[in-house]
Each structure stands twice: as C-alpha cells, then as structure tokens.
Structure 1
C-alpha cells in the first residue's frame, strides 16, 4: 500500500499523506471506501500512531478524507478530491514556473515541455527510470 523511505528528508507523515493521496487520485481507493484505522496502519508500518493521526488529520483538512465518529476515516467523493488537488498543484506549478522564469528559462521551452507532457500522457522522457512506489 504505502512505502516509506526512512532516508528521505521528507517527514514520515508527509510520505504517508503522499502515498494515500496517490492511492485516492489513481482510484486505488474508491470514494466512500474505509481506510485502515490509525492503529491498523501504524502497526502495519511499524510507526507511531500519532504520525498516522497527523497524516489523516491533514488529509481530512485538504478534503481527501472524511471521518465518521465511531466508524473511522473514509475517502472523500472524487470531485471534491480532484478540486482540492487541482488547486494545490496549480499553485505549485505557478511557483515553479515563476522560479524557472527567474532562472531565464524561455517561455517557449516551458510551453514545449508542457505540450510534450500532454502528448506523452503525463510522462516526460528524461532518460531516467522513475521509481514506482506502488
């Protein structure tokens, strides 16, 4: 389900958030599907339950999850998830493009890269193998 890299500088709770977010966006977790409890996931990953709780809480605040008292946490409806993630990613894109412009990358090069990504189904051929987490 989720792989953790203890050598990564990214905090464990963020790795958990990213893993669950990927599972939701890729439809591996369906809307209204119950996700493992904090204790279950903590036991399976052998980490502190507070770390899982923090990840779940932030995912709920971002609109990816919702909780029902006494029943657990569930995946939010797809349209709500996609809207939240779209806003987040567009904001990140704005920051990256702004920095690239500062570094004197030509707008035509940026447009070409985006067009190549769209043609390639979201994968830009950089000659490097990407690591799959799931």
Structure 2
C-alpha cells in the first residue's frame, strides 16, 4: 500500500488514518509487532517526529501498546479493531450519503442504485 498525503490536513492525521486502515486490512495483525518509528518514517518519507506523533495517538486510542524493551504491538482486542473498522465504515458511508444528497438523490433512489450496481457485479 502506497503512502499518500494531501496538503489540506496535517500529515500526522493522515498517517493515523492510513495506519488505522492498514491495521483494519490485517497488514499489521492483532498482537503482531508493529514496525519501528524510524522504519515507518523512512517508508512514508516523513520526519520521525511526525510518525512518533501518529503512533502516540494510536497508542492513546488503544490500537497499539508498548512493551518496554520489545517495542510496539497491535492490540489483541478484536473488539477494539472491529469498533475502529465500524467507525471507518460509518465515516465512508456518511461521506457517500452526503455526496448522493448533494447530487439530488433521495434515500430510495440511492438504495435502488446500490441494488442495481450489486446485481450488475454478480
């Protein structure tokens, strides 16, 4: 997965979101060792302090935890990861529904369009 950044929001916020997505997708499995700050900063081509800020936020949210000499790990709590995935899905759906409303689609029209698209993809 390629690191992508925009200029409209702070880099550390975008790092948090992209790392959450990687956890949600299983790239970093529950209970698995998380890459070091330097490793991730190098991979993302960002300052290590910026990456540290993102990882601190992920720790505060309970997605990562530190073991003194072993480094950081992804939480083993499947419920916490599922909660994050649901929040991410809700955010995506909210944006989608807002866009459909701006285009002038009603709730019923949106549902019909989704059903048509699902049928066409089968």
Normalised by the length of structure 1, the TM-score is: 0.65
The 2-side partners of 1:75 and 1:51 are apart by 19
Which residue of structure 2 lines up, in the alignment, with residue 60 of structure 1? 59
Larger % of helix: which?
2
Structure 1's unaligned 5+ residue stretches are 122-134
Which residue of structure 1 lines up, in the alignment, with residue 34 of structure 2? 35
* Superposed CA RMSD: 3.0
The 2-side partners of 1:62 and 1:19 are apart by 15
Q: What secondary structure is seen at the aligned counterpart in 2 of 1:63?
A: coil
The 2-side partners of 1:115 and 1:32 are apart by 38
Normalised by the length of structure 2, the TM-score is: 0.69
Which residue of structure 1 lines up, in the alignment, with residue 86 of structure 2? 86
Change (3 A) 1:65 1:98: same
Query: 1:57-95 CA deviation, whole Å, 9 max, x = no partner?
Result: 222233332222333211123331111231343255346
Q: What secondary structure is seen at the aligned counterpart in 2 of 1:18?
A: helix
Further displaced range: 28-37 or 95-104: 95-104
Further displaced range: 44-53 or 111-120: 111-120
Structure 2's unaligned 5+ residue stretches are none
Residues paired across the two proteins, number: 119
Q: What secondary structure is seen at the aligned counterpart in 2 of 1:104?
A: coil
